[in-house]
Structure 1
Amino acid sequence: MIEQKVLQNLGLSEKEAQIYLALLELGKSTVVQIAKQAKIKRPTTYLILDSLKQKGLVSEIPEQSRTWYAPESPEALEQTVKHALSDFHELLPVLKSSFSRGTKPTIRYYDDRDVIENLYYNEIFPARKLYFYGTSVKKINETWPNMFEQWERYWWPKKSRAGHKVFEIVDNDPEDIAYAKQSIGKREVRIAPKGKQFLADNAIADDKIMITSFDPVFAVIIESPQLADTYRALVELAWEASIPAKDWNEKQKPKVQLV
């Protein structure tokens, strides 16, 4: 029975679901009537009714020499589930912290272009705090022609509205510089100092580090809170050494060099 399965998925036991459904069909009933409708022995029915009373799904109504039971509205179960979900959400940060501390780093390798593109869309771009370092606009456009369009039209506006932080440090080729300058007024994209070129795109998204090679095309994702924090600190140092697009000119020599 579908209804019984749904109730069990919401936290009721098999017999609790059977008796609650029987009560919904019968309305106000005696234990004998409920046990018969649910096809459960009377002593067990008493125990299950007590359990359902504790969960706020059944009311006990004494009348003269008999005790009647009535079902609470299904909305009562909805409220129980909502309260449980609210409690879970409050506990979730603690659970995630425990999970992170006890989880070994994982490393994943990919060499399929389409799969790697989807990794950007599904695992990297949605992060609340996102760092890009050594991005080559030219190489990404050659490998995934639609990626920057997707980023500019969909992902960046969505992240901006949500208040997410994005750090972008691009290479210093003409296409990278043009991209950085086009971003003036929307967000700050910085340019790596002259003489510093990068052969891979580096992204740090929450607890994930993604390193993408373009020739040949492959990507590695490392999931580790400790490593992600370390790489974020390195990118923040690189951010200080990089040049804001509004300050870039072709003849300048950066005062700070990346090591």
Structure 2
Amino acid sequence: MDVAKLTEIGLSKREAQAYLALLQMEEAKAGEIAKLSHEDRTNIYDSLGSLVKKGLVSYVLRGSKTYYRAAPPSKLQDYLTEKEKILHEIMPGLDKVYKSYEPKPTIETYEGREGIKTVMSDILKEGKDFVGFGATDRMYYLFPEFTERYLHEREKRKIRARQFYAEGEKVLPSKYSEFKTIPREFSGPATTLIYGNKVAIFMWFIEPPVVVLIKNKEAAKAYRRQFEFMWRIVK
């Protein structure tokens, strides 16, 4: 059973270890859970208390002893649904604060898989057609499952894209994509995507990959003009 997967949905590592250990027993005392999860007793009490607050663990008192039970795994879905509900309630206020100031030109850097997901999700959220060029198949080779989900969601939202591919690159088919091919010597290990008033530069040659996101209307216009010039002359 994967502790890492549970940490991705919001549990701490110790909470995940305690919950998984308790799932293997009908009920157990703290010391038994600590032994199975390879945790000391002091920390296990903190983890169990936190899991009780989250509704993922319950307990019963028998005399002077406390026995713990794991909630059914379906309770994890209820936990996430409740978190999503809370987020939905506070989003209008957060957006109001975020949009209360005049946007200034900014350059942001995102790193690794999660950083790439953040920027690609921003493209979907923007919801507008975009253009791009350079190493357009790298994301698929590094993150095939995420790329397929992204393309599926893009098609659902009917977001169109025009992109240049270098000769020999894998073309990622999409109902709303248009491609032109350029010689490989004019491509490189980076991808540039222009969407809305933003320019995203994916640097695949760095480990882990890095995305530089430029938020500036004039910069986006300049990159887009360059793209449109190339699009006209490439057959």
TM-score calculated relative to the size of structure 2: 0.50
> Structure 1-normalised TM-score?
0.46
